[in-house]
Amino acid sequence: MDVIGWCQFQTSGDEDKDERYDIREVAWRGENDLERGNGNSISRRGSGDVGPLGEWQNHAPHRARRPSGRAPEGIHHLQRETLFERDETQHGFRPPGRDHVPRAHGQGDTGLRGASPPAQNNLQEKVAQAEAVIAGQWRRGVSGGERKRVSIGQEMLVNPSLLLLDEPTSGLDSTAAQRIVTTMRGLSRGGRTVVMTIHQPSSRLFYSFDKVMLLCEGSTLYFGKGCEVMNYFSGIGFSPSVSMNPSDFLLDLANGVLDDDPSSSRNPAQVKETLVSAFKANLKGALKEELQRETPLHDSNEVSPSSSHEEEKHFNGWSIPWREQFSVLLKRGLKQRKFESFSGRKVAQILAVALLTGALWWRSIDLQDQIGLLFFYSSFWGFFPLFQAIFTFPTEKMMLKKERSSGMYRLSSFFVARTACDLPMELVLPTAFVLITYWMAGLKPAPLNFLSTLFVILLCVLVCESLGLAIGAFMMDQKAAATFESVVMLSFLLAGGFYVRQVPRFVAWIKYISIGQYTFKLLLEAQFKPEETYRCSSEGGICMVKNHPSIEKAELGKHVTFSVLALLIMLVGYRVLAYVALMKVGRTKKLK
């Protein structure tokens, strides 16, 4: 049985005109309806299909509606808050363009040199809380209550007209729960509507709510002012035998329990039926009359085309300009990515592989060995960034879904900021790798040869990362993406012509979309010229480099521009595919 109490704050101003409810045929199918709704569970529905609060008509004040006809924005506050574990609690709460809060490293930094010691300590404590890291499963950070407050605060940044919270006080002590409810009450007085589900609140918390809805098995037992609920049930013959928390009493009523005596003559089913009948007889009619007085005679959904066009034009905007969205997301991305890209484990891994590679190819003068090193470059820096990138969007899916469904930013600003973060973060380690191995292996020391080799490897890294982002964005499943990635890269590797010189025609087309083939060809071009020679065992002991079995298929001196353009097209194309795939994540639906 799904029993839940809905508690709701009124908006400020003329509440009676701003709030309109139709409570007919209220149906409740449990809290999973909220989870499937992704925070936008309240919507307009046709007759016969009524949501948890019935047919919600013009609930939010007209002046506070969200742009472009999107559904009312709300917080879907689950038991596990969706937050970046590396973020500080202050991150995202500063308006764009504002500096960081004062650092808590000394009295001079706080700007309270002349303040009293208690005031200084209070400010430093708050600053320390703002600088605390969210952390997560493997790292200690803020408490559960602080995570809840951060999650709610982030949703409030977009100034939504409707806040929908699912058990925001669960797991908190009474004081912390009271602070959250008090904050929400203050928001409701500022012109917003706040709706929350809550289980067994304290007495003080319960009487903070303007209106309470008590539901039981899809039927409404009470809907009205919170301060009048006990008087209502006492008036129809249901009053507690002892003084008790109103929420405990209401929960007992919703379960059909009148007292602790098991020999009671009234069974739970009879109690529920009596309560439902009492609601229909005492409250439902009055609420319907109130709705009829407040709701215009014409259908509120029927809006003239001209007014609809003007309203959409007026509200077809965002609270923050695109440039500032990009700036905030870029700063957040750089802060997040620096831990991922420069973690001690990853740096140690790259340095170890670089030193091992340099040792194996130490001062190599054999042409075949040098060709093998270049092929290793194209293979390693094809697999490594691709494998890292496929997990990016699947791991950030819930965060992106939450923020996009709340209308925090455009997808374009998020994606461009993400792309801008990749440039400095993803290119540092490959550059260090080339700096170590290139000189240890004894490749051509000319600056042009070195810079050409470095450019090709960095371009390969960006293209492979773009492919990984596209695969991850389309699949959004880490295991499936990893499996598909291994198949794709092995296909590119085997069809590139290094292992199999005579590739059958029916699979030869794979080489034209192979990142490794173009990268390997450009690396050969960066090191060798067609007219160069090398010592060989054939007659005369001198052979042309372009005729070497491992180079012959590459056709040195030909199609260089085509290879570069092919990689650039792949770079842009895979990024576009990733963007298109992300458009389905957190998409807000228009009301019908």
**Of the ranges 19-23, 62-66, 366-370, which is most confident?**
366-370
The per-residue pLDDT of the chain, averaged, comes to 72
Whether residue 298 is found in the same domain as residue 328? no
Cβ within 8 Å of residue 420, ≥6 positions away: 330, 333
Q: How many CA atoms lie within 13 A of 157 on its CB side?
A: 22
Whether residue 185 is found in the same domain as residue 224? yes
Q: Reduced to 3 states, what is the DSSP secondary structure of residue 586? A: coil
Whether residue 309 is found in the same domain as residue 349? no
Range of weakest confidence among 181-185, 339-343, 498-502, 542-546: 498-502
Count of structural domains within the chain:
2
Whether 26 is in a domain gets the answer: yes
Domain boundary among 298, 315, 332: 315
Whether 400 is in a domain gets the answer: yes
Whether residue 475 is found in the same domain as residue 335? yes
- pLDDT of 483 over the 60 cut: yes
- Any idea what DSSP says for residue 68? G
- Determine the pLDDT at residue 207: 84
| Angstrom distance (rounded) from CA 164 to CA 78 | 11
Whether 93 is in a domain gets the answer: no
- The pair of three-digit structure tokens given for residue 316, joined into one six-digit string: 């077809």
Whether residue 253 is found in the same domain as residue 346? no
pTM: 0.63
Whether residue 326 is found in the same domain as residue 310? no
What ranges make up the beta strands (E) of 10-81?
21-22, 55-56
Whether 152 is in a domain gets the answer: no
Whether residue 26 is found in the same domain as residue 73? yes
- Determine the pLDDT at residue 328: 87
Whether residue 413 is found in the same domain as residue 429? yes
| Residue 479, domain extent | 322-582
What average pLDDT does this structure show over 324-350?
Answer: 84
Phi, psi of 92 (to 5 degrees): 90, -10
Q: Which residue has the higher pLDDT, 566 or 364?
A: 566
Domain boundary among 315, 334, 350: 315
- Determine the pLDDT at residue 138: 46
- pLDDT of 460 over the 90 cut: yes
What ranges make up the beta strands (E) of 142-265?
162-166, 193-198, 211-216, 219-225
**534 pairs with which residues across the strands?**
543
- Any idea what DSSP says for residue 213? E
Whether residue 205 is found in the same domain as residue 329? no
The answer to whether 6 and 555 are in contact (CB under 8 A) is: no
- The pair of three-digit structure tokens given for residue 410, joined into one six-digit string: 């455009």
- pLDDT of 219 over the 50 cut: yes
| Angstrom distance (rounded) from CA 102 to CA 124 | 9
- pLDDT of 444 over the 50 cut: yes
What average pLDDT does this structure show over 28-48?
Answer: 37
Whether residue 61 is found in the same domain as residue 181? yes
pLDDT digits (tens, 9 = 90+) for 150-177: 777 776 766 777 888 888 877 777 887 8
pLDDT digits (tens, 9 = 90+) for 318-335: 667 888 888 888 888 888
- Determine the pLDDT at residue 467: 93
- The pair of three-digit structure tokens given for residue 378, joined into one six-digit string: 């194209």
Domain boundary among 294, 315, 336: 315
Whether 102 is in a domain gets the answer: no
Whether 154 is in a domain gets the answer: no
- pLDDT of 96 over the 70 cut: no
- Determine the pLDDT at residue 58: 39
* High-pLDDT (> 70) share of the chain, %: 66
Residue reference for tokens 């960081």: 100
Whether 139 is in a domain gets the answer: no
Whether residue 426 is found in the same domain as residue 346? yes
- pLDDT of 357 over the 70 cut: yes
The answer to whether 207 and 231 are in contact (CB under 8 A) is: no
Whether residue 372 is found in the same domain as residue 403? yes
3-9 vs 162-166, strand pairing mode: unpaired
Q: Which residue has the higher pLDDT, 2 or 205?
A: 205
Whether 120 is in a domain gets the answer: no
